[in-house]
Chain A
Amino acid sequence: MDELTVKNITKKYSKKAAPALKNFDYAFSNGVYGLLGPNGAGKSTLMNIIVGNLAASEGEVFYHGADIRTIGEKYRSILGYMPQQQQLYEGFTIKRFLYYFAALKGLSKKEANERIAELLHIVGLYEFADRHLKTLSGGMKQRVLLAQALLNDPEVLILDEPTAGLDPRERMNIRNYIYSIAEKKTILIATHVISDVEQIAKEVIFLRKGEIVLSGTPEQVAQEIGPFIWEVDVLKEDYRRVNEMYPSNRVAGERDGLVSVKVISEKRPELQEVRSAAVGLEDVYMYLYPNERR
């Protein structure tokens, strides 16, 4: 059975404005879901509606078949949310911040002691537990926020840019941990870092202007976009010409004076020795948002 069902959600911030989210309809079960799209695609609006911070103009969100607005506190007790932000309570230490959220999540003292110690080890902040939040780097703050989201061992975990500001090692650790707990949880990750979800996502959802443009397992979306991704080796000095002809491209590597270029085009590019390419989520992203900045 689907854990979380988002039913025809539309969100308009004002009557005249275009909808930030339009007829979003999706069913989530256990596993990791990647939510991808450029700025303004509606990712944060969707997350805020799912966590109950924002009321939808139309549609409902159901958890195990019950409207989340009706079950309120019961839903919030199985919810973990990590927003994308850097400002925390400046007067708090890491430990106090986590105990505050343990209190807000209704954990008992014993549960809080055990869980906070465990999570501080997981996010690598155990030795810094008494440090004030204002003295932390951006990456450390991200890890504190992730720890608080996991405090109540949530069944539904909503993560907004969970690895922003982390170094590669920390990013890998966090990604591995999320994957390790995903079996019994519904995890929704909104991110710009495609590699964060590419390896661990059960399904990915691409959004544009509040609508789903493509969704499915990474393999399914790759397969769907596969016919439009080409690869060609060109001389280094010729790359500028290729770039002008096919602006939707990306350099995949360089060897022996030849540059390997992935070109996104619905027609076979008019270049020599063009071949079909292995498709990754980054290529899908390039295909879906050709002229848009991330």
Chain B
Amino acid sequence: MLNLITAEIRKLLSRKFLLIITVVLSIMLFVRFFIYCRDLKLFENRDYQKIRAEYQYSEGERDVEQLAEKHSIPAEEIVGIFLILDSQYEYIDQYKDFIDGIPKRADNLRQAVIFSGEKSYAYRSIDKCLNDYAGLKPVTIIPDMDTGIQALSEYDWSYLFVAVVLLMACAILLKDEEDDGILGLAQTTKNGKIPLALIKWVTIILFGSFLSGGIACGRIIIAHYVLGLGDIDRSLQSISSFRNCYFNISVRQWLACIVLFAILVSVVLGTVSLALLTLLKRIAISVAPIAAGIGMGLVFYMTIPINAKMNSLKFINLCALADVGNLFSVYSNVDLFGYPVSVLPTLFVYAGVLFALALSIYLLSFSGVLVVSLPRWRIQRKLRIRGTVSVFSHELYRFLIPGIGTLTLVGYLVFSLNQLDYGKLKLTQRDYIYYTICQDLRGEVGEETLQKLSELEQIYSAQMHQDMDRIYYRDAMEQVTKELNLLLSAKDRGVAVHYISEVVTKGVFESSHHFLLFGFLLAGVLSLSAAPLFSEDWDTGLSGLVRTTKRGRHSVFLCRYSVIFLMYSIGFFGYMIPYIVNWIHRTHLQEWSVPLQSVVGFSMCKGNMSIRGFMILWLCAAWLSGLIYPIVLSALSGVVRKKGTTLTAASAIMAVDFLCSILNFPVLRSIGVSGTYGLMRIVQETGSVAIVYISLIKNVIIFAVIIMLHYKKYSE
């Protein structure tokens, strides 16, 4: 049995495509979460611990300057930590009142719902709430670093990725073998029915569990190292966002729940995928109910309010099981025919029933007991011999339909639309003060700007009454002065710089990590989608046939590259345009034509270039650099002539390039194609605008050489 499971696992691991997708997307998920955590980070965990110790012993005395000197921590950071500690200690007092006050609030609520009657859902909920919280009195609240917990509480979308990978794995173990005739052969053997079905099920479950469990553990480790989780043996209620949690569990147990629930979701998803694929036989038809189920589940989960009459639709749902943060932090019950039932047990029952049903269907249909014959609508349809004779349309179809190209593009468009932000700027108090000063100083920088600054200093000083505001104000003024000094030095070099708030510019000019991640994701997925355009010909041997046709050389070559260009461009601009639109929305149009040095990070740069000119050049360079991967992959397929080897080679090149950029190797990162995505950072560090031109020219040369070499090879 173990040998057979090992053999099935080997089948999965031998599929390079599945492996590459799994590894690349896992890395992307981790990098994305890492960036998310890094953005949340306001101070170091060790600084928090030091200040907390001081806070406990010196309540009331807050000599920030002295503490800053003593611990070598910036004053603004200490202020931030004090704010957090204030709210945490305030929460300790409030929590006791909250728990003690539950019976009284319940009495009040009973009065409010008396007209609904004692048999109403609302009335029963009050009684249930009293019982639920009854066991919580001994809970001790311990304040500690909890930003990591908050990061982990965010809705984790990785189960969607696990669902896709599991479906691919199921298709490999079932459909591919069925198509090759191996499954039919295996099913005629002694252990070919239920035992074989169980072996495949165990394989999928193991694969899914390792994947989902690995991702969950990875997220916990990242949250721990980047943000800190504090003492994990403290009660979960120690984190203010978990005030309403009525389970007497520690943070450690909650972290274990994150991993276990992720595994549970993958077990259910894997079993359902196997069941549908075995029952319905066709991948496309099996994907539809899974996608519809998850899609509807998500809509219900995200849109139905927790206390709505139909909240059973919200909670009896796999998407709810994936939200471990919400499950433990929000108090609510499922309205089951007027009776309040706890969410978690209901979810377990639902998952158990779904799992048992799916497993039964899978085993029965695999062993041939349960057979569903789907109607073949196509045969009933009137046959029409009509079609297109455009090579481009056919190549586009080859890119979109059988591959993952369509999913990728739809995903990108949805994701990019999500980036559009027409709302007001969301600023912290400190950033708000800084932004207000910046707005007053907007315009060309000169001696009068300094005068204006000193005037503003007087006005604001008079307005600031609270200690915290004064600290923020001082901090903001320091930043503005520093920025103005940098801009004035650029002005002394003869550059007519303008003053633009960093709050506005950082959305575009400080997003190198986002662009880098996006660039790799887009280039990687596009490469995988584009790879079959050329390599499938070599794999199937059809290249020999295609090349003997009238338009099988120049036209096919051109059309295939046009498809790659088009799809890549949609993905690229689909992602970039929201950034630009957001920026236009936040700035005055005339600020686009001011010198690049007006963006503080670029103030030391040499060379003449407007912000608009820089953005256009950068977009061209980035567009070309990402395009090089699909092109390298296509060209490699012409030399290697094997899809697997091509994908491996291209992945290796991509991985090295990506690492060079991430690890910031000074020389290699600018040689690497990905250097273009991190170009803004490189220009800021080197102070040379010429690098943009060099990068653009370098990309054009690489691009032209690869295409020419490939064309020469293809047409010979």
**A residues bordering B, Cβ < 8 Å?**
48, 51-53, 55, 73, 76-77, 79, 81, 83, 85, 87-91, 95-96, 98-109, 112-113, 116-117, 120, 126-127, 129-130, 134, 145, 148, 152
Closest to B559 in A: A103
User: Size range of the interface on B?
Assistant: 35 or more
Among residues 541 to 589 in chain B, which have CB atoms less than 8 Å away from a CB atom of chain A?
541-542, 544-556
Ranked 8 nearest A-B pairs via Cβ: A91-B402, A99-B387, A87-B540, A104-B549, A77-B550, A103-B389, A117-B385, A100-B394
Question: Would B394 and A53 count as touching, CB distance under 8 A?
Answer: no
B622-642 residues at the A interface, CB under 8 angstroms:
none
- Asked if residues B541 and A53 are in contact (CB atoms below 8 Å), the reply is no
**In whole angstroms, how far apart are the Cα atoms of A214 and B552 in the complex?**
35
**A101 shortest CB reach to chain B, Å:** 7
B540 and A103 contacting across the interface, CB-CB below 8 Å = no
Q: Which of B388, B539, B540, B556 contacts A104 (CB 8 A)?
A: B556
Contact digits for B312-336, partner A, Cβ 8 Å, 1 yes 0 no? 0000000000000000000000000
**How long is the Cα–Cα vector from A133 to B687 in the complex, in angstroms?**
58
Q: Are B389 and A48 interface neighbours, CB within 8 A?
A: no
B383/A126 in contact, CB under 8 A: yes
Distance of A116 Cα from B383 Cα, bound (Å)? 13
Contact surface of B with A, Cβ cutoff 8 Å: 179, 378, 381, 383, 385-391, 393-394, 397-398, 401-402, 536, 539-542, 544-556, 716
Known: A76-B550, A103-B390. A120 touches B540 (CB 8 A): no
Q: What residues on A are CB-neighbors of B378 within 8 Å?
A: 130
Tell me the dominant secondary structure on chain B's binding face: loop
Task: Name the one of B542, B548, B549, B553 contacting A85, with C-beta atoms under 8 angstroms.
Answer: B542
Q: Which residues of A contact B550 (CB under 8 A)?
A: 73, 76-77, 104-106, 152
**Interchain CB contact under 8 A, A109 and B552:** no
Given contacts A103-B390, A109-B389, A127-B383, contact A88 B540 (CB under 8 A): yes
- A91-B401, A103-B389 known; A129 and B383 CB under 8 Å? yes
Cβ distance A56 to chain B, nearest Cβ, rounded Å:
13
The secondary structure that dominates the A interface is helix
A87 near B542: Cβ-Cβ < 8 Å = yes
Also in contact, A113 and B385, with CB within 8 A (given A87-B540, A104-B391): yes
Contact across chains for B547 and A53 when beta carbons are under 8 A apart: yes
Identify which of A79, A102, A117, A126 contacts B389 (C-beta below 8 A).
A102
Q: How far is the CB of A30 from chain B (nearest CB, A)?
A: 20
A/B pair count, beta carbons within 8 Å = 105
Closest to B391 in A: A103
Asked, given contacts A99-B389, A112-B387, whether A85 binds B547 with beta carbons under 8 Å apart, the answer is no
Complex Cα spacing A252 to B551, Å: 49
Contact between chains at B545 and A96 (CB < 8 Å): no
22 interchain pairs (CB within 8 A)? A53-B548, A55-B716, A73-B550, A73-B551, A73-B554, A76-B548, A81-B545, A83-B541, A83-B544, A85-B541, A88-B542, A91-B398, A91-B402, A95-B385, A103-B388, A104-B549, A104-B550, A109-B389, A112-B389, A116-B387, A126-B383, A134-B179
Nearest residue, chain A, Cβ from B179? A134
Contact A89 B388 (CB under 8 A): no
**Hey, which chain A residues are within 8 Å of B551, CB to CB?**
73, 103-106
- Whole-angstrom distance between the Cβ of B339 and the nearest chain A Cβ: 51
Contacts of A83 in B (CB 8 A): 541, 544-545
Contact of B548 among A79, A95, A107, A109 (CB under 8 A): A79
Kindly provide the distance from the CB of A147 to the nearest chain B CB, expressed in whole angstroms: 12
Contact assessment for B386 and A113 in the assembled complex, using a CB-CB cutoff below 8 Å? yes
Which residues of the other chain, B, contact A107 by a CB distance below 8 angstroms?
A: 389
Would you call B542 and A108 a contact (CB within 8 A)? Answer: no
> Which of chain B's residues has its CB closest to A108's CB?
B389
| Closest partner residue, chain B, to A158 (CB atom) | B548
* Nearest neighbor of B544 in chain A, beta-carbon distance: A53
Instruction: Give the chain A neighbours of B552 by CB distance below 8 A.
Output: 76, 104
Question: Hey, which chain A residues are within 8 Å of B554, CB to CB?
Answer: 73
In whole Å, how far is A107's beta carbon from the nearest beta carbon of chain B?
A: 6
Contact A96 B397 (CB under 8 A): yes
Could you say which of B394, B549, B550, B556 has the most chain A C-beta atoms within 10 Å of its C-beta?
A: B549
The residue in A87, A89, A100, A134 that gathers the most chain B C-beta atoms within 10 A of its C-beta is A100
Name A54's closest neighbour in chain B (CB-CB).
B544
Could you tell me the distance between the alpha carbons of A97 and B552 in the complex, rounded to whole angstroms? 14
